C-alpha cells in the first residue's frame, strides 16, 4: 500500500528521530523527508546508519543526516541530541523511538534483563527529553513525540519489559506536556499496534518456536486478530507522527494516539 502524503507545515522542520535505521523509526524518517523536513536518523552501528542514509538519499538530498549512538547509554544519548542540533542548525522536534526490548514472560527475565530494559525503555527517554528542551525552547514550532506501544494499555503476554516499563514514558509525556506547555512545547505519544518490521517477525518467530508452529501461521493469526485484518506499515505510524509535529496539531499536547488498525478494545 502506498499513500501519497502531503502534510502541511513540515517543510524545513529540523527533526531528530532516534532508533531509525530500520523499522518504525525508518518509516517515520521517510514520511518526514517526503514532506520536506530535515531529518537526523540514528542507530547503534555506523554501517547501519550509512546504509539507511543511502536508502533515504533520493527522498531528502541534502536533508538527511545520521549519527551512530546507543540511546541506552547516557553519554551517547546526550551526544546524539547535541550533535543533531548542531548539524541541523537547531531542533524543532524530538521523535523518540527506541530499540526493541528482549521479549519474554516476567518469570523468564532475570535482574540484568530488567536493568537493561530500564536503560533502553526509560532512562533513554528521560535523557533525550532533558537534553532536547534547551534546543526546543528556541524553536517556533517545538514538539516531542514518544513512540511507545499498545502494550501500555493492554499488556501483551510475551513482552513483559514493554508492558511494565513503557508506562513510565506515558507518565513522562503527561508530566512534560503540562510543564512545557507554557513554553509552547507540545509533547505527545503514539502507540503502535502490530507493525510489519523485523521486530514483529522476531516476536512471531519467538511465539512460533514456543508453540511449535510456523512463523507464517503465527503472522496470519496476528493479522486475523486485528479488526483491519492486516499489520500496519511503518509509514502509517510516520503519518501520525508527521501530523503531531506539524502546526496542524498546534493545540494537541499530552495526547496518546494509537495507530493499531483498531486492535485496542479499551474505551
Ligand atoms: N513492530 C511492532 O509491531 C511494534 C509495535 C509496538 C511497539 N514497537 C516498538 O517500536 C520500537 C521499534 O520497533 P521496530 O519494530 O521498528 O524495530 P526494528 O525493526 O528492530 O528496528 C529497531 C531500530 O532501532 C535501532 N536501535 C535498536 N537499539 C538501539 C539503541 N539502543 N540505540 C539506538 N538505536 C537502536 C536499530 O538499529 P541498530 O540495530 O543499528 O541499533 C533499528 O534501527 C521498539 O521499541 C518496539 O518494541 C514495535
Q: Is residue 267 part of a domain?
A: no
**pLDDT averaged over every residue in the chain:** 95
Both 180 and 203 in one domain: the answer is no
* Residue 6, pLDDT score: 83
Both 159 and 39 in one domain: the answer is yes
* Residue 132, pLDDT score: 98
Structural domain total, the chain: 2
Residue 204 CA from chain centroid, whole number: 20
* Residue 207, pLDDT score: 85
Both 135 and 84 in one domain: the answer is yes
Both 41 and 113 in one domain: the answer is yes
**Residue indicated by cell numbers 500500500:** 1
Distances, alpha carbon 159 to alpha carbons 101, 104, 120, 182, 220, in Å: 8, 5, 14, 36, 19
Could you tell which of 45, 100, 257 is best to mutate to test the pocket of ligand 1, judged by most ligand atoms within 8 Å of the CB? 100
Both 96 and 107 in one domain: the answer is yes
Both 158 and 81 in one domain: the answer is yes
pLDDT higher than 80, residue 4: no
Q: 195-200 long-range CB contacts below 8 Å, 24 or more apart? A: 195/23, 195/24, 195/27, 195/231, 195/232, 195/233, 195/234, 195/236, 195/237, 195/259, 196/231, 196/232, 196/233, 196/234, 197/22, 197/23, 197/24, 197/234, 198/22, 198/23, 199/23, 199/100, 200/231
Q: Is residue 246 part of a domain?
A: yes
Q: Is residue 150 part of a domain?
A: yes
Confidence of residue 59 (pLDDT cuts 50, 70, 90): confident
Q: Is the pTM for the entire model greater than 0.75?
A: yes
Both 175 and 102 in one domain: the answer is yes
Could you tell which of 18, 26, 43 is best to mutate to test the pocket of ligand 1, judged by most ligand atoms within 8 Å of the CB? 43
Confidence of residue 169 (pLDDT cuts 50, 70, 90): very high
Q: Is residue 8 part of a domain?
A: no
Can you give the residue range of the structural domain that contains 27? Answer: 14-193+233-259
Both 103 and 18 in one domain: the answer is yes
Confidence of residue 248 (pLDDT cuts 50, 70, 90): very high
Both 171 and 207 in one domain: the answer is no
Q: Is residue 240 part of a domain?
A: yes
pLDDT higher than 70, residue 254: yes
Q: Is residue 4 part of a domain?
A: no
Confidence of residue 60 (pLDDT cuts 50, 70, 90): confident
Can you tell me the distance from the alpha carbon of 57 to that of 63, in angstroms, rounded to the nearest whole number?
A: 9
Confidence of residue 3 (pLDDT cuts 50, 70, 90): low
Tell me, what CATH number does 79's domain have?
3.40.50.720
Percent of the chain with pLDDT over 90: 89
The cell for 22 is 530500520
Both 74 and 84 in one domain: the answer is yes
Average pLDDT over residues 202-222: 90
Both 202 and 178 in one domain: the answer is no
More confident residue, 109 or 157: 109
Which residue has its alpha carbon closest to ligand 1 atom 46?
Answer: 100
Amino acid at each position: 500500500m502506498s499513500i501519497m502524503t502531503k502534510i502541511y507545515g513540515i517543510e524545513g522542520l529540523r527533526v531528530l528521530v532516534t532508533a531509525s535505521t530500520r523499522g518504525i523509526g525508518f518509516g517515520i524518517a521517510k514520511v518526514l523527508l517526503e514532506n520536506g523536513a530535515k531529518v537526523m536518523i540514528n542507530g547503534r552501528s555506523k554501517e547501519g546508519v550509512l546504509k539507511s542514509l543511502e536508502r533515504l538519499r533520493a527522498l531528502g538530498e541534502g536533508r538527511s543526516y545520521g549519527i551512530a549512538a546507543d540511546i541506552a547509554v547516557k553519554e551517547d544519548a546526550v551526544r546524539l541530541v547535541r550533535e543533531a542540533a548542531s548539524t541541523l542548525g537547531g531542533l524543532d522536534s524530538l521523535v523518540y523511538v527506541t530499540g526493541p526490548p528482549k521479549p519474554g514472560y516476567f518469570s523468564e527475565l532475570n535482574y540484568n534483563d530488567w536493568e537493561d530494559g530500564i536503560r533502553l525503555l526509560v532512562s533513554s527517554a528521560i535523557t533525550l527529553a532533558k537534553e532536547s528542551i534547551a534546543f526546543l525552547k528556541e524553536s517556533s514550532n517545538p514538539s516531542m513525540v514518544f513512540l511507545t506501544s499498545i502494550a501500555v494499555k493492554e499488556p501483551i503476554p510475551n513482552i513483559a519489559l514493554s508492558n511494565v516499563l513503557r508506562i513510565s514514558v506515558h507518565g513522562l509525556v503527561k508530566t512534560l506536556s503540562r510543564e512545557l506547555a507554557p513554553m509552547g512545547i507540545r509533547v505527545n505519544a503514539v502507540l503502535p499496534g502490530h507493525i510489519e518490521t523485523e521486530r514483529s517477525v522476531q516476536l512471531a518467530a519467538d511465539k512460533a518456536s514456543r508453540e511449535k508452529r510456523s512463523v507464517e501461521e503465527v503472522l496470519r493469526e496476528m493479522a486475523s486478530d486485528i479488526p483491519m485484518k492486516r499489520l500496519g506499515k511503518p509509514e502509517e505510524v510516520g503519518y501520525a507522527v508527521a501530523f503531531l509535529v506539524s502546526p496542524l496539531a498546534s493545540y494537541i499536547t499530552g495526547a496518546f494516539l494509537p495507530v493499531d488498525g483498531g486492535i485496542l478494545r479499551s474505551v
